[in-house]
Chains A and B, each alone.
Chain A
Amino acid sequence: MTNVSVQNLSKSFGNFKAVDDVSIDIPDGSFVCLLGPSGCGKTTLLRLIAGLEALTSGNLLIDGVTQNDIPAHKRNFGMVFQSLALFPHLSVAENIAYPLKIRGADKQTQRARASELLELVKLPDVEDRRVHQLSGGQRQRVAIARGLAIAPKLFLLDEPLSALDAKLREHMQIELRLLQKKLDITTIVVTHDQREAMTMADIVIIMDKGKILQSGSPIEIYRKPVNGFVADFIGMSNLLPCEIVSDTEVKVFDQSILLTEKIGSELSKDSNAILSVRPEDLTIVSAEDAHDIKAEVSFIRDLGSSIEILFRVQDCELLAVCTPRNRPEIVIGQQVAIKLNSDRLTVMSS
C-alpha cells in the first residue's frame, strides 16, 4: 500500500516559485504522469517528492506519514533519472545491486536479484557488461531495473525515455506501463510528451507556471479540458472565440451551436469564452443548412493513415482529421460547409 498525499507543497528559488501551492492525492498502485512544458515545475515537484530538494512549505505524506524531514537516502523510493545516471565504473549487475549492497545484502543475493530484475526488464545475460557497452535502450532498461531493485514503495521517473529515438520510445512506453501493472507499484513519471502521458497514465496532471491546471484520467482531460492551454497541450484542438447565448447555446462565426451539456456556471454570458473543437469532431457536410459554417479548404496533409485538412473560416485556421475511408472529395481552395459535433464540444474561459 502506498498512498501519496501532497499537501499545499511549495518550492521557491529566491523570488521564483517553481512549485506553487500544489496538492495531489495519489491512490495506491496508480500511474501518474506530471505533464507540462519545460519550466512548468514538474521536475521540481518530482524532486520534492524524492527528497532531492528541500520544500519551502507544505506537507508530503506517504500512507499518512510525513516525509518532510526524511532525507532522500532513507525514503526507500526508486528513481530513474533523465540522464539515467548509471555508474560508469560498475558492471550492469553491480549497478542494479548497488542499493542492495548499501543495505548489506550478501554477494549471492545481490547477483540473484540483479539477474531476476534483468529478466523482468527483458534484458537477460548482460550482468557482466559495462554500462558503456550497452545501447541507449538497454541502458534505459538497466536504469529501470536498478530503480526497482529494492521493490520500492514509490517509483519516480524523470523524463526517462527522452534520450531514446521515437520508435523505441513508443515501445518502451508500453513496456513501462505493463511492467507497472504487473508489479502494481505506485509510479510518478515526469514528461513533456502528451502522447507518452496518454499511453501510460491512470492520472495525468497538467502543470504550468508551478501550478496544477487540471488532473484526471487522460480521456477525461482530452474530452473536458478546463482551459485553452490544457486543450492545446493534450492533443490538438481548435480554439474558437465564441459568444455565450444561453447555458446550452453558443455563437461561433455567427452560427448558433446547441450543446448537449450545460456550460459551467462560472462562465457568464458576457465573459470572453472559447469553444474547443477537437479535429476529429469537425466534419464536412454536403448539404448546406443554416447551422453549417462556411469554410475554404486551405491545405490537405495526407499522412496515409490519417488525413489532416486545414480550413480557413473568416480569419481563423481550423484543423480537421479524418480517416482515409472517410476522405471527402475536396481540393485546395474549394468552398465547403463544415459541422461541429455538438456532443463533444467544450466551452471555457479564455
Chain B
Amino acid sequence: MSVQDNGINKWLAAYPTIALLVFFLAPFLIMLAVSFFARVEGAFFEPAFQFANYIRFLSPFFGRVLLNSLGLSTAAAIIAVCLAFPFTLFLSNIRRKEQTLILVFILSVLSLSEVIIGFAWSTLLSQTAGIGNLFAWLGFIDEPRAYTPSLTALLLGLVYLGFPYAVLVVYPAISRLDPEIPEAARMLGASPIRSFFTIIIPIMRRTMLGAFILVFVFTLGAYLLPQVLGRPQHWTLSVHITDQAIFQSNIPFAAAMAVFLLLVSLALVGMSLILGGDKKGAQT
C-alpha cells in the first residue's frame, strides 16, 4: 500500500469523528455557551457568563414541567413497548408475505409527521367529528363528547408515535429467536403464558430495554402533540423550550432548559442501562 493510499484511508476513517464534531458536538457547545448568555430585552442576546437562566429554571413550576415530561415519556414508552412486544411476537408467527405487508404498513406510519398525527388524533377524538359520535350512535354514551384535550389523548398520541419504533427495534430480535426455545419450555411443563413470562421476556430483556429507551427519548422531544392533544398543565419541557425560543425570544433560557433536559435524559438512559444490564454477563 502506498503512502498516499494510507493518507486517504486515514481521512476516510476520520470522517465519522469529523461528522460527529461538526453536526453534534459543535451545535451542542454553542447551545451550552448560549445558555450562559444574557438576554437583551427587545433584542436577541449578548455574550455573558451568568447562571441566571439555570437559576430561573430551578423553580417549582419548571420542576413540575420536567417531572411531567419525564413521566409522560416513561409512560408512553412503557405502553408502546408492552403493546409492541406481543404484537411483534404474533407478527413473527404469521406467514412471511403477510408479515412484510404489515411491517410496510407500520413503516408508513413513520413517514407521517408529528403534525399530521397530532391533528388526525385531535379530529378523531373531537366532539363534532370524532369517535364520540360512533359511541353515541352505538348507545354506549348518551351524546357525543370530546376526548381531547386530555392526558389520555396525549398519551394515545405519544404511544402512536412511538409504537412503530418499538416494533422496529423488537422485530429483528424476535424473528431471530430460536422457535424451539418456547417449545422446549412447553415440553418442560410451562403453559404458553408461563413460558412467555419466564423464558421469552427474560431472554428479550435487553431488546425491550433498547426499545424503551428509543421511544422514551423520541417522545421526550415531542413538542407539538402536548399542545394539540394536551391541556396547558400537560405541556412538556419541549413545549416550553419552543415557547421560550420562538415566542418569548429568550434563546439563552431555552438553551439552558435544553441542556438540562439533555443531561437528565442522558442520566436516565445510563441508569436504565446499568440497572437492566446483566451483571453475570449472559448473551455475549
- Chain A residues near B (Cβ < 8 Å): 50, 52, 71-74, 76-79, 81-83, 85-89, 98-99, 102-103, 130, 132, 146-147, 149-150, 156
Contact = CB atoms under 8 A, between A and B. Distances in A.
Contact of B184 (A76, A85, A103, A150): A85
A79 B189 CA distance: 11
Contacts of A99: 188-189
B41 interface: no
Contacts of A73: 186-192, 195
Nearest to A78: B187
A132 B194 CA distance: 24
Question: Which 8 A-B residue pairings sit nearest by Cβ, starting from the closest?
Answer: A85-B184, A85-B180, A99-B188, A79-B187, A81-B180, A102-B189, A73-B186, A72-B186
B282 A102 contact: no
Contacts of A72: 183, 186-187
A132 B283 contact: yes
Contacts of A79: 184, 187
Interface string B172-201: 000000101101111111111011001100
A235 B42 CA distance: 96
A111 to B, nearest CB: 17
Interface of B (DSSP majority class): helix
A81 B184 contact: yes
A130 B178 CA distance: 18
B184 A88 contact: no
A184 B212 CA distance: 50
A82 B180 contact: yes
Contact of B183 (A74, A85, A150): A85
A156 B205 CA distance: 30
A89 B180 contact: no
Contacts of A150: 188-189
A77 B282 contact: no
| Candidate in B184, B198, B284 with the most chain A CB atoms within 10 angstroms | B184
B283 A89 contact: yes
B203 interface: yes
A89 B187 contact: no
Nearest to B280: A130
A52 B183 contact: yes
Contacts of B282: 88-89, 130, 132
B205 A89 contact: yes
Interface in B228-270: none
A50 B187 CA distance: 8
| Candidate in B186, B198, B202, B278 with the most chain A CB atoms within 10 angstroms | B186
28 contacts: A50-B187, A52-B186, A71-B186, A72-B187, A73-B189, A73-B191, A73-B195, A74-B189, A79-B184, A79-B187, A81-B183, A85-B180, A87-B184, A87-B185, A87-B199, A88-B282, A89-B203, A89-B283, A98-B198, A99-B188, A99-B189, A102-B190, A103-B189, A130-B281, A132-B283, A149-B188, A150-B188, A156-B187
A82 B183 CA distance: 12
B201 to A, nearest CB: 10
A132 B189 contact: no
Nearest to A47: B183
Contacts of B190: 73, 98, 102
Nearest to A82: B180
B192 to A, nearest CB: 8
A341 B280 CA distance: 65
A85 B181 contact: yes
Interface in B192-231: 192, 194-195, 198-199, 202-203, 205
Nearest to A150: B189
Nearest to A74: B189
B246 to A, nearest CB: 48
Contacts of A147: 187
Nearest to B278: A89
| Candidate in B180, B183, B188, B278 with the most chain A CB atoms within 10 angstroms | B188
A236 B192 CA distance: 45
A87 B203 contact: yes
Contacts of A130: 280-282
A75 to B, nearest CB: 8
Contact of A89 (B178, B192, B202): B202
A291 to B, nearest CB: 56
A92 B146 CA distance: 56
A102 B194 contact: yes
A255 B283 CA distance: 67
Given A81-B184, A82-B180, A98-B185, 8 more contacts: A50-B187, A72-B183, A78-B187, A85-B184, A87-B181, A89-B202, A99-B189, A132-B282
A87 B181 CA distance: 7
A83 B187 contact: no
A146 B181 CA distance: 13
Contacts of B183: 52, 72, 81, 85
